Amino acid sequence: MASFLSNLKYVAWTALAVAALFLIYFAVVEARIPFDDSRFWEAALRWGHVLVGIMWIGHLYYFNFTQIPNAPKIPEEHRGPSIGKVIAPAALYWFRWGAMLTLITGLLLAWNQNYLIEALSLGALDQPSFAAPKTILIGIGMWLAIIMWFNVWFIIWPNQQKALNIANAYPDLDAAAKASAAKTAMLFSRTNTFLSAPMLVAMTGASTLFG
Ligand code: HEM
């Protein structure tokens, strides 16, 4: 058992396989929803969306609640390059691809339920131009999360690449330019931490309040 748990790849793939069987059993056998019913795919997408959302927001909270406030407490002589050169680039990998998969599964979830355009336009394209409150609520949440996704891919990640010289893409950047890139990345990461709480009211509330 210890050798199985020590291998992250085994654990991750087995967990996904168990989750798939679990979902299929309850959907197909207990709830009698066949694979060609859109509710089956809604359940699968909801599961996948929350899973990759945790991957994204989990790393966002790691940066904001753990790494950023505590790294400066490490005495200068013990700091070494390990956080910037090893831990942060790995965390940024799962962070940005978690964000991408969350966006894709979220858009598919709305498309599967036939309200993608209505939600993204907040009902403005409807006749009369008034969407159901559920669609407006989830539409606001989707836009908050899309802004967060944009910040990850187009502001935080490029600035972290500069600040940490990831993959030696910016070998000639001076210390002041690196510090300024790190500051920009931190401010947008903090903005996303701020947006995450109201965004989740929409994500979790849409079905509960108006289901
Ligand atoms: C990146 C853009 C995102 C889009 C386009 C999106 C879209 C959606 C949609 C359409 C739903 C279904 C709402 C419903 O019909 O009840 C949903 C639910 C949800 N989303 Fe997102 N979302 C995004 C980001 C996130 C993020 C970052 C998280 C963080 C974990 C998240 C967590 C959730 C949760 C927990 C639910 C509720 C699932 C349920 O109650 O079954 N979403 N999202």
Q: Choose the residue to mutate in 95, 153, 203 for probing ligand 1, maximizing ligand atoms within 8 Å of C-beta.
A: 203
| pLDDT the model gives residue 66 | 95
Q: What is the pLDDT of residue 83?
A: 82
Domain residue ranges in the chain:
1-32, 38-210
Residue 176, pLDDT score: 95
The pLDDT tens digits of the residues spanning 37-76 come to 999 999 999 999 999 999 999 999 999 999 999 988 988 7
How far apart are the C-alpha atoms of 34 and 27, rounded to whole Å?
Answer: 7
pLDDT tens per residue, range 80-132: 778 888 999 999 999 999 999 999 999 999 999 999 999 999 988 876 656 68
Q: What is the pLDDT of residue 130?
A: 64
CA dihedral 18, 102, 112, 195 (to 10 degrees): 130
Contact 119, 138 (CB under 8 A): yes
Cα of 47 vs centre of ligand 1, distance in Å, is 10
Nearest residue (by CA) to ligand 1, atom 9, is 106
